[in-house]
């Protein structure tokens, strides 16, 4: 039971909140800020009122929440002064309007729309935000990080529409023998190797080392594919590069088929360069799927009509930063991307054997095509699920106007809840890579059926993504 003193203070704070809600919002005061420029009292805990309490933070919190709720969409509130070590992030309105979203350590939004809100936060808060997005919404990611305010504000608008296809499934003579080469032991070996790094965090030496290992491994496995090459896509803001393997097209090299997954890992609220983050499922499993596809394409000496690119993205866990830079560079250079598939978490059978295809932030024609590939070549069924705003790297491609899709390990509400912790180990995903086998088959099928073998029937015209580059 609360004491009389407690009840009086609670009544005072409640009254302050009511007054704040009724106050005009033309001059909005920002929350108290710490040395990093982030809101110091964005989510105050429950104090011991009987021991005395500073009420000002709670009054300011009430004022800020009332102002944020009252501000019309698209109206700028109070942007914090530019500070070193901070980034802009955008978070979806569905998450922000959820009761759990009220405690995210974000402060007051700078801009808002019906789609999302933009915040400026200290870069070292990103692991905490990522951890809370996982804990509260079971999301891997769940927000975009941006280098400039203008870039963040552009994300307040809906992404450009895409029109993928036409896509055809007609290369069974090639695909079926190739998918039979998928080996669980190879997938397991890659997962174990990557999980063996202390972490693959984007600013850690081990994160850069893991990317270099992937680059070397892919280069070796792809030696049999004509003209194959590997390069590092370096990012100016952090150590870890993204990795891109290219198998050039023989007839339509300007048309690009992308298979991707993120290579970084993260752990805990204050996880960073020193935290233990094996990331066996999230996302060593996705990189293992891509690596197995590279191995089989290389062994077969596959020569595609269209260019195939296999990508391992840096810094996904802190706002899809690596894939966003890659996709933006492709948009800016006039690249003609025929289709993108994302593999993020493939080895936890939370909903049985099926491959779950995401239905939000994806191209519908490409997703329908994926379902046909699953049925034709993987030996399991296709199901559907949703993952929300900015949940993985396919959203970066969608935002840049390219047709993208994603394959996931389970229904979203039965995914692996050991991720983003030191418990994300192979042992906690069953001790083997059996669930990833079907995903590796899908990766091989996607590469071959979308890029088509050299010398096969004439390619259908690739769709031009609206908002993308000219053909």
Catalytic-labelled residue, pool 281, 317, 325, 424: 317
> Which residue out of 95, 420, 424, 449 is catalytically annotated?
420
CA distance 390 to 460: 31
Which member of 95, 264, 281, 282 is catalytic? 282
Distance of alpha carbon 294 from alpha carbon 310, whole angstroms: 8
Residues 235, 262, 394, 435: which is the catalytic one? 262
- Exposed/middle/buried for residue 22 (C-beta within 10 Å: 0-12, 13-18, 19+): exposed
Q: What whole-number distance in Å separates Cα of residue 284 and Cα of residue 425?
A: 10
Whole-angstrom CA distances from 114 to 157, 159, 225, 240, 463 are 9, 13, 47, 34, 29
Please report how the helices 364-377 and 172-179 are oriented relative to each other, as an axis angle in degrees rounded to 10. 60
Is 316 an annotated catalytic residue?
Answer: yes
Which helix (H) or strand (E) segment is 231 a member of?
Answer: strand 229-233
**How far is residue 23's CA from residue 21's CA, in Å, rounded to a whole number?**
6
Contact between residue 136 and residue 275 where contact means Cβ atoms under 8 Å apart: no
Cβ contact 459:306 at 8 Å: yes
Radius of gyration of the chain (CA): 23
Q: Is 98 a catalytic residue?
A: no
- Whether 146 is catalytic is no
- Which residue in 60, 123, 155, 316 is the catalytic one? 316
Identify which of 38, 204, 206 has the alpha carbon closest to the alpha carbon of residue 124: 38
317 in catalytic set: yes
153 is known as an active-site residue:
no
The answer to whether residue 138 is catalytic is: no
> Residue 434 burial by CB count (10 A; 0-12/13-18/19+): exposed, middle or buried?
middle
CA count, 13 A, side-chain hemisphere, 137: 29
Q: Give the pair of three-digit tokens for residue 5.
A: 């003193």
Positions marked active-site: 262, 282, 316-317, 344, 420
């Amino acid at each position: 039971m609360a004491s009389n003193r407690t009840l009086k203070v609670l009544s005072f704070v409640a009254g302050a909140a009511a007054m704040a809600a009724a106050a005009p919002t033309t001059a909005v005061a920002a929350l108290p800020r710490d040395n990093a420029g982030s809101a110091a009292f964005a989510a105050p805990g429950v104090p011991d009122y009987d021991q005395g309490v500073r009420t000002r933070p709670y009054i300011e919190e009430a004022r800020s929440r009332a102002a944020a709720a009252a501000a019309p969409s698209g109206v700028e509130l109070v942007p914090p002064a530019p500070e070193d070590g901070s980034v802009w992030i955008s978070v979806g309105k569905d998450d922000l309007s959820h009761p759990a979203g009220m405690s995210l350590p974000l402060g007051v939004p700078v801009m808002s729309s019906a789609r999302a809100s933009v915040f400026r936060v200290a870069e070292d808060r990103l692991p905490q935000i990522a951890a809370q997005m996982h804990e509260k919404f079971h999301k891997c990611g769940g927000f975009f990080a941006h280098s400039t305010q203008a870039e963040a504000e552009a994300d307040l608008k809906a992404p450009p529409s895409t029109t993928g296809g036409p896509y055809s499934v007609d290369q069974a003579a090639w695909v079926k023998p190739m998918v039979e080469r998928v080996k669980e032991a190879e997938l397991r070996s890659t997962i174990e190797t990557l999980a063996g790094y202390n972490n693959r965090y984007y600013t850690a030496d081990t994160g850069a080392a893991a990317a270099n290992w992937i680059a070397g491994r892919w280069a070796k496995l792809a030696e049999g594919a004509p003209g194959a090459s590997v390069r590092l896509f370096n990012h100016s803001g952090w150590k870890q590069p993204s990795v891109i393997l290219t198998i050039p097209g023989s007839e339509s090299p300007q048309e690009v088929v992308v298979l991707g997954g993120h290579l970084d890992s993260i752990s805990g609220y204050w996880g960073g360069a020193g935290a233990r983050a094996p990331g066996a499922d999230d996302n060593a499993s996705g990189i293992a799927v891509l690596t197995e596809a590279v191995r089989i394409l290389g062994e077969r000496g596959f020569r595609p009509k269209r260019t195939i690119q296999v990508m391992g993205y840096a810094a996904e866990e802190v706002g899809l930063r690596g894939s966003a830079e890659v996709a933006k560079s492709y948009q800016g250079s006039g690249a003609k991307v025929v289709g993108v598939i994302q593999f993020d978490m493939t080895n936890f059978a939370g909903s049985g054997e099926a491959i779950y295809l995401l239905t939000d932030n994806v191209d519908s024609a490409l997703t329908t095509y994926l379902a046909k590939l699953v049925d034709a070549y993987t030996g399991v069924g296709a199901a559907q699920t949703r993952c929300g705003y900015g949940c993985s790297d396919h959203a970066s491609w969608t935002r840049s106007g390219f047709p993208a899709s994603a394959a996931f390990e389970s229904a979203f509400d039965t995914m692996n809840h050991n991720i983003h912790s030191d418990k994300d180990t192979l042992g906690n995903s069953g001790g083997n890579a059996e669930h990833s086998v079907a995903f590796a088959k899908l990766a091989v099928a996607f590469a071959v059926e979308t890029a088509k073998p050299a010398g096969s029937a004439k390619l259908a015209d690739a769709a031009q993504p609206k908002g993308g580059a000219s053909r």
